[in-house]
C-alpha cells in the first residue's frame, strides 16, 4: 500500500510566522530568538488510520514521509485497582511498554518509541546523512531499535554510566554506532559530545525537542487517551526530564480543541521531577521563565542521587517560546517533586495493583498523582490521564533473550570537535 502523508506547514511559536518544511527544519530561519516551531496539519480533525500498522494509526497528525516496520502504539485503559487505592473514579492510564494483556507490545518498554518511529519516518528513504541522537538511556534504546530494524544509519551518544539501558532482544544492525561520555559524566555531556559529532557535514542532529516529529510522536499518548475516553482529560500527569512529552500533550490538546469533537477545555498539566534534580520544579515555584542556576557539578551530583536517571536534563526546553513554561502558563497546573523513597513506594504499589512493573520515571508520575490527591489538587470525579512512560521491562527481561550493547567509543566531551567527528566517521568505514 502506498502511504500518503498529511500535508502540513510549520509555525514559529515566537512570531507566528508560517513557512514550509525544507525537509529537516528545526527552527524558523527568520526568527532570531529561542523558539520551537509547531506543525499545523491540513487535516484539522483527528481520525485514526486503521489501515496502517501499529503506531502509524496516528499518521494524520505526524510530520512523516513514510512508515517503518515494527511499531506499536501506546495503550490507554481505565484503572480499577490504582484508582480505588487513590479514591479516583475516572483515572485513565496511558501505558507505553510491554504489557501484552492490554495490547501493549513496545519492545523497548518505553514511550520513546513513539518519538523514534516518528522522527525516523520523517527522514526520506534516500537520506545520505547519518542521524545523531543524544540520550540518557531510554531514547537511545528506542532509536537504536528502530534504526537497526529499518537499516537507518545512526550514532547514539550516551553517558557511560547509563550504558546498561542499552539492552535489546537481538543484536543491533551494524548501521548503529554507540559513543559514550566517560563515567561520572551526565546527559548534558553526552549532548556536548553529539554536538561535536555534528560538526562534520556527514552527520545530522536529531534535534531533540526542536524536532516537530519528536514532539508529535510523543503527543500520540494523548490521542490514545481520547480515543478511549471520547474527551480531553481534565488533568495530565507525567514525569519529566526535558518536559518535551508534556509540551507535546499540550500541543495536541490545542489541536483537539480545534477538532471540536473532544471538548473545548485545556487539561491542567502536572509534570514531576525526581528530587533533588528539580531544575524545572524550582524554576516554576519561583514563577521564573528563566531556569534557576545549576552548575555542571551540581547537576552531576543531583543526577548521581536520583534513581530516575533519565530525568536529568539540566538544559531542558523550558524557557523558549512554545516551551514548558508557556505550556504551564497557558493550561494551568503545577509541578511536583518526588523523592527516591516515594517513587519506589508507588512503583511497588503499581506492580501490586495494576499487575506490571514500571520504570522509575513512570513511578515518579504515579507518586506525584498520589501527592495531588492528598492535597486536593484533583477531584475524585475528574477525568485524569496518567502517562506511564515506560513499563514491563522486568517482565520482558524475564522472558529471556536479552543482549546488552557496548559503546564503540568512549570520549571526553572536552575532546576537540574535529577529532571527535573524525573518530566517529571512521566507525562507518
- What pLDDT, in 10s, does the model give residues 152-167? 999 999 999 889 999 9
- What pLDDT, in 10s, does the model give residues 115-141? 999 999 999 888 999 999 998 788 999
**CATH 3.40.50.1100 domain span(s) along the chain:** 75-109+214-397
> What average pLDDT score do residues 18-30 get?
94
Q: Does the 75-109+214-397 domain belong in CATH 3.30.1360.20?
A: no
- What pLDDT, in 10s, does the model give residues 303-331? 999 999 889 988 999 999 999 999 999 99
CB environment 288-318: b (16+ within 10 A), e (fewer):
eeebeebeeeebbebbeebbbbbbbbbebbb
- What pLDDT, in 10s, does the model give residues 390-425? 999 999 999 988 999 999 999 999 999 999 999 999
- What pLDDT, in 10s, does the model give residues 86-118? 999 999 999 999 999 999 999 999 999 999 999
3-state secondary structure of 270: strand
Q: Between residues 3 and 370, which one has the greater pLDDT?
A: 370
Which ranges of 360-416 does DSSP label H, i.e. alpha helix? 360-374, 393-398
Exposure of 50 by Cβ count < 10 A (0-12 exposed, 13-18 middle, 19+ buried)?
exposed
Which helix or strand (DSSP H or E) is residue 26 part of? none
The mean pLDDT value of the chain amounts to 95
pLDDT for position 184: 87
Alpha carbon separation from 396 to 77, 97, 109, 350 (Å, rounded):
20, 9, 8, 17
Phi-psi region of 151 (alpha: psi -120 to 50; beta: other; left: phi over 0): left
pLDDT for position 1: 60
Q: Which fold is adopted by the domain 130-201+399-429?
A: Rossmann fold (3.40.50)
| pTM score of the predicted model | 0.95
What is the C-alpha to C-alpha distance for residues 359 and 197, in angstroms, rounded to an integer? 30
What is the C-alpha to C-alpha distance for residues 305 and 238, in angstroms, rounded to an integer? 20
Amino acid at each position: 500500500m502506498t502511504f500518503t502523508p498529511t500535508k502540513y506547514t510549520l509555525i514559529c511559536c515566537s512570531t507566528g510566522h508560517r513557512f514550509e518544511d525544507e525537509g529537516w527544519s528545526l527552527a524558523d530561519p527568520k526568527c532570531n530568538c529561542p523558539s520551537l516551531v509547531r506543525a499545523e496539519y491540513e487535516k484539522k480533525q483527528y481520525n485514526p488510520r486503521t489501515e496502517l500498522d501499529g503506531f502509524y494509526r496516528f499518521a494524520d497528525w505526524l510530520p512523516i514521509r513514510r512508515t517503518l516496520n515494527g511499531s506499536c502504539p501506546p495503550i490507554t485503559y481505565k484503572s480499577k485497582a490504582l484508582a480505588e487505592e487513590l479514591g479516583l473514579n475516572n483515572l485513565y492510564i496511558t501505558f507505553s511498554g510491554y504489557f501484552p494483556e492490554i495490547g501493549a507490545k513496545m519492545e523497548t518498554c518505553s514511550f520513546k518509541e513513539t518519538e523514534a518511529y516518528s522522527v525516523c519516518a520523517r527522514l526520506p528513504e534516500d537520506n545520505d546523512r547519518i542521524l545523531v541522537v543524544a540520550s540518557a538511556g531510554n531514547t537511545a534504546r528506542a532509536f537504536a531499535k528502530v534504526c537497526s530494524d529499518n537499516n537507518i544509519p545512526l550514532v547514539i551518544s550516551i553517558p557511560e554510566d547509563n550504558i546498561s539501558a542499552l539492552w535489546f532482544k537481538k543484536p543491533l544492525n551494524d548501521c548503529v554506532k554507540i559513543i559514550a561520555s566517560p563515567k561520572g559524566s551526565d546527559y548534558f555531556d553526552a549532548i556536548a559530545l553529539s554536538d561535536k559529532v555534528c560538526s562534520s557535514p556527514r552527520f545530522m542532529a536529531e534535534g531533540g525537542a526542536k524536532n516537530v516529529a519528536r514532539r508529535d510522536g510523543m503527543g500520540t499518548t494523548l490521542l490514545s487517551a481520547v480515543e478511549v475516553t471520547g474527551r480531553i482529560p481534565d488533568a495530565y500527569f507525567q514525569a519529566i526530564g526535558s518536559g518535551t512529552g508534556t509540551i507535546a500533550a499540550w500541543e495536541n490538546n490545542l489541536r483537539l480543541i480545534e477538532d471540536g469533537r473532544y471538548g473545548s477545555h485545556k487539561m491542567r498539566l502536572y509534570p514531576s521531577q525526581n528530587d533533588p534534580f528539580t531544575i524545572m520544579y524550582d524554576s516554576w515555584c519561583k514563577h521564573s521563565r528563566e531556569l534557576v542556576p545549576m552548575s555542571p557539578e551540581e547537576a552531576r551530583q543531583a543526577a548521581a542521587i536520583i534513581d530516575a536517571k533519565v530525568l536529568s536534563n539540566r538544559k531542558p526546553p523550558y524557557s523558549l517560546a512554545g516551551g514548558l513554561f508557556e505550556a504551564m502558563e497557558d493550561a494551568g497546573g503545577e509541578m511536583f517533586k518526588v523523592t527516591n523513597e516515594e517513587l519506589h513506594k508507588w512503583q511497588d504499589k503499581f506492580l501490586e495493583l495494576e499487575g506490571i512493573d514500571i520504570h522509575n520515571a513512570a513511578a515518579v508520575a504515579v507518586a506525584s498523582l498520589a501527592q495531588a490527591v492528598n492535597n486536593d489538587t484533583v477531584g475524585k470525579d475528574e477525568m485524569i490521564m496518567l502517562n506511564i512512560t515506560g513499563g514491563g521491562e522486568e517482565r520482558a527481561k524475564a522472558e529471556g533473550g536479552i543482549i546488552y550493547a557496548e559503546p564503540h567509543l568512549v570520549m571526553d566531551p572536552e575532546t576537540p570537535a574535529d577529532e571527535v567527528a573524525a573518530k566517529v566517521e571512521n566507525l562507518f568505514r
